[in-house]
Amino acid sequence: MVVQVSSKFRSDVKEVMERSNSEAQEATKEFFQKKKREGIEIDENTLKTNVSILLELNRYINKFVSFKNKDFIPSSVKFEHIDANGVPAEWITPPGVETDKVLFYLFGGAYNMGTIETRRKLPFLISESSSLRAFLVGYRLAPEHPFPAALDDSIAAYQWLLSTGIKAENIIIAGASAGGGLSVATLLKLREISLPLPAGVVLLSPWTDLALKGESMKLNAEYEPGLSKLTLGMTAMSYSGKYKRRNPLISPLYGDLKGLPPMLIHAGNVETLRDDSVRLADRAKEVGVDVTLEVWTDMPHVFQRYYGEIPESKQAIEKIGQFIQALLI
């Protein structure tokens, strides 16, 4: 479902988000026409009551917008599909990066959207900024594959990476939104099964509390109505399945974070999930984790995706590169 962009955003941010919203509206119109040809009439009320149709639409929009922006990554970048212990993955290798140092990347999409082909932009940007190649993991999605499928895939892919001779001390794990929460859950599971932890973790607007208890869910609702408590609650239920949403491997905010590697966390101050970052940083600091939390003024959820359009997006990617380079010297 397409929602209006808040008028309270800074003018340049609002312009970029309205462009994205326009693309989503174009995709929605095309989707409605497609379903009509299939004999299925859809209106706004259908999207409010039919969860499966709404999910199909959101996935359609995701692919449509990605195709619109497919030329962002230079042709000099190499892509190589990999079977990582049964998990689809992809090497993303910009020219001149170090191939023995790896960005292990878990994409966002509320655990029910996203593919390797539609989620290349951020791992490419971080890879280029930090001078190490990216390993993009195509974990399974809910509701077809609820928890623990995504976590199982992340662990299997990480084990495969270690089996190739890549050392844990040369790996950075990173993720955006749901991929950020999955990154922390992966660390907790790696520690549980006594596998070596990576050198650090980068989290972009991580979704760490699927119980949705952060105050920013309410305080910033007018800025991001598309990431409302109702919408996120539906996807949280589809992912958690029969498990409690406060399970630390589903909502790592409630886990024991002691002993985790250095963290860099980015969030926007007006996003509904802001407090998932703030509370995670606070809990991690309490148990001695080296945490750098940066809450960016006037920035929405995963604002780094607007690289080249909003100055802060480029600045954030540069800071991420500096953080990673400092850890992997």
State whether residue 318 is helix, strand or coil. helix
| Alpha-carbon gap, residue 269 to 275, rounded angstroms | 9
Catalytic residue ranges = 177, 271, 301
Q: Return the bridge partners of 92, or none.
A: 79, 134
Global pTM reads 0.95
Summarize pLDDT for 192-225 with one digit per residue, the tens: 999 999 999 999 999 999 999 999 999 999 999 8
Mean pLDDT in the chain? Answer: 94
Do residues 100 and 166 touch, judged by C-beta distance below 8 A? yes
Backbone φ and ψ for 234, nearest 5 degrees, come out as: -65, -45
| Alpha-carbon gap, residue 278 to 299, rounded angstroms | 15
Summarize pLDDT for 138-175 with one digit per residue, the tens: 999 999 999 999 999 999 999 999 999 999 999 999 99
pLDDT at 49 over 90: no
| Alpha-carbon gap, residue 249 to 161, rounded angstroms | 21
Q: Which fold has domain 74-327?
A: Rossmann fold (3.40.50)
pLDDT at 51 over 90: no
| Alpha-carbon gap, residue 96 to 77, rounded angstroms | 10
| Alpha-carbon gap, residue 137 to 81, rounded angstroms | 10
Ordered by start, the domain boundaries in the chain are 11-66, 74-327
Summarize pLDDT for 296-305 with one digit per residue, the tens: 999 999 999 9
Find the mean pLDDT for residues 38-48: 84
What is the predicted pLDDT for the residue at 231?
Answer: 87
| Alpha-carbon gap, residue 11 to 307, rounded angstroms | 16
